[in-house]
């Protein structure tokens, strides 16, 4: 039997034959590699056998290799005994068994086939990875979030600092409870410009005391809606669906009051229309002002993004009613009322005056403290419990690769991987703060002066690789499109600018029985200055069309189209030209601010 | 003397194939005990040389007790020649330094 490894051909062939599988099969099936049997069968002293067994065992080689080594060592002992040496002498001459085993192992491993070596290192690497992963799993499953700040209670404490008689919600609540008992929703759900208007008008007339209560409540400085299940939603008559379930925090806060505030705004807008019909200028003025005040109340306490958007929406309702008044029945407001309304609506200058992102910071901080562990130094890791919160809370839907991790993390085996894939508590909080600072900076100046690229650039820098995108995925998916809301706020302010000019034009017309040739003629008597085009910074454009004034911005293309509206898919798109920043799409046409364009679909509804 | 054992084993194998115990005896005898080594040292050394392709082995099963014979390969011979030059140069240097005598 020749196991010559001196020539390459034989050597490689032999090495290929010495695969772990072959070793396993042959050793198991035939018993040929039963090296202990080989030792037992040799006719040498038990001490020598023990020495050979000890050395061979310590090599930790495969059986085929152990059998080979065992045969060599046993033969050596047998040869020595044949030569007349004693077992004791041979054992003494053997050398250090541990070192011998180590050297034999090293030399035999060097002799192993490439396939086996690859297999061996793969096993070693796999074992190390498994040990590492098991360690991670222990950290992951043992980690428990320990929320320290109750943001909901913190917000409620601030609200409760206001005296009870300065809070509007108790009044709104009592009105809503009474009105809800009168089956009012079906009536008010119809459009004010639909065929049911006479019924609506009758209902409005019949409920003037309630509407007056709402108007008065909007004058109060605090909305006063207490968050959480034990807060203002603990009112079965108003919120029957919100009486059960776990305590609420910023991440699972239900806000049923938003729908009710929208209803209050509807009522004020409907009342403004009814007041215009009746020629009740003071009531129109008070409704418009009440809408603006309601928006301000909601802005101050508007929790979360959706609450802030409602605030802007209500403010836009106020401007819309003023626009309708100036266009349809300008005479209903006397000069003093026009001036008072102008002063009332002129206050906001930047988007930050009508929208706030502060609650988004609280939401993120609350989410992180409920999903990440806390090492006491501001850092921590995602936890198993935290991942379950993310998965269970549909409003916190995480998309992209991280979404898959969250979605399928029910497979417990893959959950610990999130320790490696998601950023740490500190990293995420710091980056979120940085992104929010950039977003906040955006709304504290006119949008045309803001660095709208900054949040995008920062986000691009954070997501320059798939791993990085995964690391910061929570930031991308939990941070709403704040730039979009900043644009909505800026558009609302633009419409307000148009209304300020519209009010001045109306006053000018009353004094001169004609409209001015230029807007400059309105200053300084009726306007401190001509409002700047919110896109270009130049004075707003003005012209007369059919003897009626038209005030507009040149729009995103910065080209004066004489007040022509952009067209999209064959339909007028009034706000399409009101865009800012790096994602703005070039649109031909102007952004008409006053009078507010009523698109054909709206006109159809009105008819 | 590090590196002396493998060269000595290769040199002994140039005389013909032999088995482990015989190699131990020959090493002890021919080096006057200077390069004597136990089997705990010899076999790792042989396995190393085998792994490097300098030594080949065959299992002789023609006798009652199988015995593994080792022989030097062509690669082993080339290596031995190279090592012999190195040892000669080292010996000459030691002589010139007066550490060893002619």
At A458-494, the pLDDT tens digits run 888 888 888 888 888 888 766 657 888 899 999 999 9
Q: How far apart are CA A251 and CA A545, in angstroms?
A: 51
Q: Which of A69, A75, A93 sits opposite B67 (nearest CB)?
A: A75
Structural Rg of chain B based on CA atoms = 15
Q: How far apart are CA A542 and CA A564, in angstroms?
A: 12
CA distances from A358 to A153, A225, A308, A355, A547 (A): 16, 17, 10, 9, 46
Quickly list DSSP for B59-79. Answer: EE-SSSS-EEEEEE-HHHHHH
Q: Chain B: nearest CA to A83, how far in angstroms?
A: 10
pLDDT at A7: 40
**Using a CB-CB distance cutoff of 8 angstroms, which residues of chain A are in contact with residue B51?**
5, 107-108, 110-111
Q: How far apart are CA A351 and CA A488, in angstroms?
A: 9
Indicate the average pLDDT of chain A. Answer: 86
Q: Chain A: nearest CA to B85, how far in angstroms?
A: 23
Least confident of A38-52, A142-156, A191-205, A285-299: A191-205
Q: Chain B: nearest CA to A126, how far in angstroms?
A: 27
Contact state of B58 with A78 under an 8 Å Cβ cutoff: no
pLDDT at A595: 96
Least confident of A33-42, A279-288, A483-492: A33-42
pLDDT at A602: 47
Residue A3's pLDDT band, with cuts at 50, 70 and 90, is: very low
Other Cβ atoms less than 10 A from the Cβ of A414: the count is: 13
Average pLDDT, stretch A414-432?
86
pLDDT at A425: 93
- The residue with greater pLDDT, A607 or B73, is B73
pLDDT at A10: 43
Q: What are phi and psi of A549, to 5 degrees?
A: -75, 150
Which residues of B touch chain A, with CB atoms under 8 Å apart? 19-22, 24-25, 37-41, 43-45, 47-48, 50-53, 55-59, 61, 65-68, 73-76
Q: pLDDT per residue over A93-104, tens digit each?
A: 888 899 999 999
- The residue with greater pLDDT, A392 or A551, is A551
Task: Name the DSSP letter for residue A589.
Answer: S
- The residue with greater pLDDT, A414 or A187, is A414
Domain boundaries, chain B: 4-96
Residue A244 has pLDDT above 80, yes or no: no
Q: Which of B38, B48, B53 sits opposite A11 (nearest CB)?
A: B53
pLDDT at A5: 41
Q: How far apart are CA A229 and CA A226, in angstroms?
A: 9
Residue A541's pLDDT band, with cuts at 50, 70 and 90, is: very high
Which of A9, A77, A79, A101 should one mutate to test binding to chain B, selecting the residue with the greatest count of B CBs within 10 A? Answer: A79
ipTM of the modeled complex = 0.87
Q: pLDDT per residue over A347-386, tens digit each?
A: 999 999 999 998 888 888 998 999 999 998 889 998 888 8
Other Cβ atoms less than 10 A from the Cβ of A548: the count is: 11
Dihedral, CA of residue B97, residue B98, residue B99 and residue B101, to nearest 10: 130
Q: How far apart are CA A179 and CA A264, in angstroms?
A: 11
pLDDT at A190: 64
pLDDT at A1: 41
Contact state of A99 with B61 under an 8 Å Cβ cutoff: no
Q: Which residue has the tokens 């890791």?
A: A381
Average pLDDT, stretch A247-264?
85
**Using a CB-CB distance cutoff of 8 angstroms, which residues of chain B are in contact with residue A107?**
44-45, 47-48, 50-51
Q: Chain A: nearest CA to B21, how far in angstroms?
A: 5
pLDDT at A569: 84
Contact A265, A317 (CB under 8 A): yes
Contact state of B48 with A107 under an 8 Å Cβ cutoff: yes
**Using a CB-CB distance cutoff of 8 angstroms, which residues of chain B are in contact with residue A1?**
58-59, 61
**Using a CB-CB distance cutoff of 8 angstroms, which residues of chain A are in contact with residue B45?**
107
**Top mean-pLDDT range of A67-81, A116-130, A494-508:** A494-508
Structural Rg of chain A based on CA atoms = 40
Residue A2's pLDDT band, with cuts at 50, 70 and 90, is: very low
pLDDT at A542: 97
**b/e A177-196 (16+ beta carbons within 10 angstroms → b):** eebeeeebeeebeeebbeeb
Say if residue A197 is exposed, middle or buried (CB neighbours under 10 Å; 0-12, 13-18, 19+). middle
pLDDT at A285: 97
Q: For B66, name the nearest residue in chain A, comparing CA atoms only.
A: A75
First to last CA, chain B: 20
pLDDT at A399: 55
**Using a CB-CB distance cutoff of 8 angstroms, which residues of chain B are in contact with residue A95?**
37-41
Q: Which of A71, A83, A106 sits opposite B66 (nearest CB)?
A: A71
Bridge partner list, A543: A550
Q: Chain B: nearest CA to A124, how far in angstroms?
A: 22
Contact state of A94 with B38 under an 8 Å Cβ cutoff: yes
Q: Starting at the edge strand that comes first in sequence, how are the strands of the sheet with A541-545 ordered?
A: A541-545, A548-553, A591-594
Quickly list DSSP for A115-173. Answer: HHHHHHHHHHHHHHHHHHHHHHHHHHHH--------HHHHHHHHHHTS-GGGBSHHHHH
Q: pLDDT per residue over A49-72, tens digit each?
A: 999 999 999 998 888 888 889 988
Residue A6 has pLDDT above 50, yes or no: no
Q: Which residue has the tokens 């002498």?
A: A89
Q: Determine the 3-state secondary structure of A319 from DSSP.
A: helix
Residue A391's pLDDT band, with cuts at 50, 70 and 90, is: confident
Percent of chain A past pLDDT 90, that is, above it, reads: 49
Q: What are phi and psi of A548, to 5 degrees?
A: -115, 145
* Interface A-B: count of C-beta contacts within 8 A: 99
**Using a CB-CB distance cutoff of 8 angstroms, which residues of chain B are in contact with residue A79?**
19-22, 67
CATH number of B4-96: 1.10.10.10
Contact state of A69 with B74 under an 8 Å Cβ cutoff: no
**Using a CB-CB distance cutoff of 8 angstroms, which residues of chain B are in contact with residue A80?**
21
Q: How far apart are CA A374 and CA A320, in angstroms?
A: 49
Q: For B54, name the nearest residue in chain A, comparing CA atoms only.
A: A6
Which residues of A touch chain B, with CB atoms under 8 Å apart? 1-7, 11, 55, 69, 71-73, 75-76, 78-80, 83, 93-97, 99-100, 103-104, 106-108, 110-111
**Using a CB-CB distance cutoff of 8 angstroms, which residues of chain B are in contact with residue A104?**
43-44, 47
pLDDT at A606: 34
pLDDT at A457: 86
**b/e B60-97 (16+ beta carbons within 10 angstroms → b):** eeeeeeebbbbbbbebbeebbeebeeebeeeeeeeeee
Residue A18's pLDDT band, with cuts at 50, 70 and 90, is: low
How many CA atoms does the CB half-sphere of A53 hold within 13 Å? 15
Q: Angle B4-13/B39-51 helices, nearest 10 degrees?
A: 80
Contact state of A5 with B19 under an 8 Å Cβ cutoff: no
**Using a CB-CB distance cutoff of 8 angstroms, which residues of chain A are in contact with residue B40?**
55, 94-97, 99-100, 103
Other Cβ atoms less than 10 A from the Cβ of A418: the count is: 22
Q: How far apart are CA A484 and CA A480, in angstroms?
A: 9
Distance of CA A163 to the CA centre of its chain: 35
**Using a CB-CB distance cutoff of 8 angstroms, which residues of chain B are in contact with residue A83?**
21, 25
Residue A8 has pLDDT above 50, yes or no: no
Q: How far apart are CA A407 and CA A387, in angstroms?
A: 9
The set of residues, in sequence order, having a beta carbon less than 8 Å from that of A30 and lying 6+ positions away, is none
Residue A325 has pLDDT above 90, yes or no: yes
Longest dimension (CA), chain B: 54
Q: How far apart are CA A383 and CA A140, in angstroms?
A: 5
Q: pLDDT per residue over A182-238, tens digit each?
A: 666 656 666 667 778 888 899 899 999 999 999 999 999 999 999 888 888 887 777
Per-residue pLDDT tens digits of chain B, which is 102 residues long: 568 899 999 999 999 999 999 999 998 898 888 888 888 889 999 999 998 899 999 988 787 788 899 999 999 999 999 999 988 898 889 888 888 876
Average pLDDT, stretch A294-298?
95
pTM, 2 dp = 0.71
Average pLDDT, stretch A105-131?
86
Residue A577 has pLDDT above 90, yes or no: yes
pLDDT at A388: 79
Contact A382, A418 (CB under 8 A): yes
**b/e A244-259 (16+ beta carbons within 10 angstroms → b):** eeeebbbbbbbbebbe
């Amino acid at each position: 039997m020749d196991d010559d490894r001196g020539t390459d051909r034989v050597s490689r062939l032999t090495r290929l034959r010495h695969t772990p599988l072959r070793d396993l099969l042959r050793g198991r099936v035939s018993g040929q590699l039963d090296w202990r049997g080989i030792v037992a069968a040799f006719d040498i002293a038990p001490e020598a056998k023990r020495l050979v067994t000890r050395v061979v065992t310590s090599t930790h080689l495969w059986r085929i290799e152990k059998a080979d080594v065992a045969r060599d060592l046993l033969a050596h002992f047998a040869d020595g005994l044949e030569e007349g040496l004693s077992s004791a002498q041979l054992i003494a001459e053997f050398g250090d068994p541990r070192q011998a085993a180590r050297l034999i192992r090293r030399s035999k491993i060097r002799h192993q086939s490439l396939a086996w070596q690859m297999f061996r290192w793969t096993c070693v690497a796999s074992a190390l990875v498994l040990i590492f992963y098991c360690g991670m799993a222990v950290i992951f499953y043992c980690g428990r979030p320990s929320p320290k700040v109750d943001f909901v209670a913190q917000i409620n404490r601030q609200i409760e600092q206001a005296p009870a008689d300065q809070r509007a919600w108790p009044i709104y609540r009592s009105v809503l409870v009474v009105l809800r008992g009168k089956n009012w929703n079906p009536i008010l759900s119809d459009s004010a410009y639909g065929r049911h208007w006479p019924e609506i008008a009758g209902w409005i007339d019949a409920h003037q005391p309630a509407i007056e209560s709402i108007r008065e409540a909007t004058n109060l400085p605090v909305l006063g809606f207490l968050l959480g299940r034990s807060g203002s939603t603990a009112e079965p008559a108003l919120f029957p669906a919100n009486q059960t379930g776990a305590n609420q925090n910023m991440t699972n806060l239900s806000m049923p009051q938003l729908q009710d505030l929208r209803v209050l705004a509807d009522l004020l807008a409907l009342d403004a229309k009814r007041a215009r019909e009746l020629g009740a200028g003071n009531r129109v003025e008070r409704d418009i002002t009440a809408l603006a005040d309601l928006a301000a109340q909601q802005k101050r306490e508007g929790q979360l993004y959706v609450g802030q958007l409602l605030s802007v929406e209500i403010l836009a309702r106020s401007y819309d009613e003023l626009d309708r008044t100036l266009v349809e029945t300008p005479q209903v407001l006397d000069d003093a009322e026009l001036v008072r309304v102008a002063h009332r609506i002129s206050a906001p200058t930047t988007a930050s005056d009508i929208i706030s992102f502060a609650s988004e910071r609280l939401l993120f901080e609350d989410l992180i403290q409920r999903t990440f562990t806390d090492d006491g130094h501001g850092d921590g890791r995602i936890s198993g419990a935290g991942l379950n919160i993310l998965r269970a809370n549909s409003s916190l839907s995480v998309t992209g690769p991280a979404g898959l991790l969250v979605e399928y993390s029910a497979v417990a085996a893959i959950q610990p991987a999130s320790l490696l894939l998601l950023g740490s508590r500190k990293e995420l909080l710091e980056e979120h703060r940085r992104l929010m600072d950039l977003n906040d900076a955006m709304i504290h100046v006119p949008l045309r002066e803001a660095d709208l690229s900054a949040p995008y650039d920062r986000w691009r820098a954070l997501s320059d690789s798939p791993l990085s995108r995964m690391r910061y995925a929570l930031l991308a998916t939990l941070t709403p499109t704040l730039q979009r809301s900043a644009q909505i706020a800026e558009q609302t302010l633009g419409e307000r600018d148009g209304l300020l000019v519209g009010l001045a034009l109306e006053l000018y017309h009353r004094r001169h029985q004609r409209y001015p040739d230029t807007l400059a003629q309105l200053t300084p008597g009726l306007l401190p200055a001509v409002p700047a085009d919110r896109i270009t910074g130049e004075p707003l454009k003005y012209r007369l069309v059919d003897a009626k004034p038209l005030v507009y911005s040149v729009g995103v293309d910065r080209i004066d189209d004489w007040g022509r509206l952009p067209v999209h898919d064959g339909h007028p798109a009034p706000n399409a030209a009101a865009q800012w920043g790096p994602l703005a799409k070039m649109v031909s046409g102007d952004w008409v601010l006053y009078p507010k364009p009523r698109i054909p679909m709206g006109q159809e509804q009105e008819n | 003397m590090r590196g002396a054992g493998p060269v000595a084993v290769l040199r002994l194998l140039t005389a013909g194939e032999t088995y482990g115990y015989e190699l131990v005896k020959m090493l002890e005898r021919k080096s006057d005990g200077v390069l004597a080594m136990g089997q705990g040292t010899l076999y790792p050394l042989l396995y190393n040389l085998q792994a490097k392709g300098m030594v080949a082995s065959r299992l002789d099963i023609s006798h009652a007790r199988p015995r593994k014979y080792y022989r030097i390969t062509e690669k082993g011979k080339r290596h031995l020649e190279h090592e012999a030059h190195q040892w000669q140069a080292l010996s000459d240097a030691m002589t010139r330094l007066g550490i060893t005598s002619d």
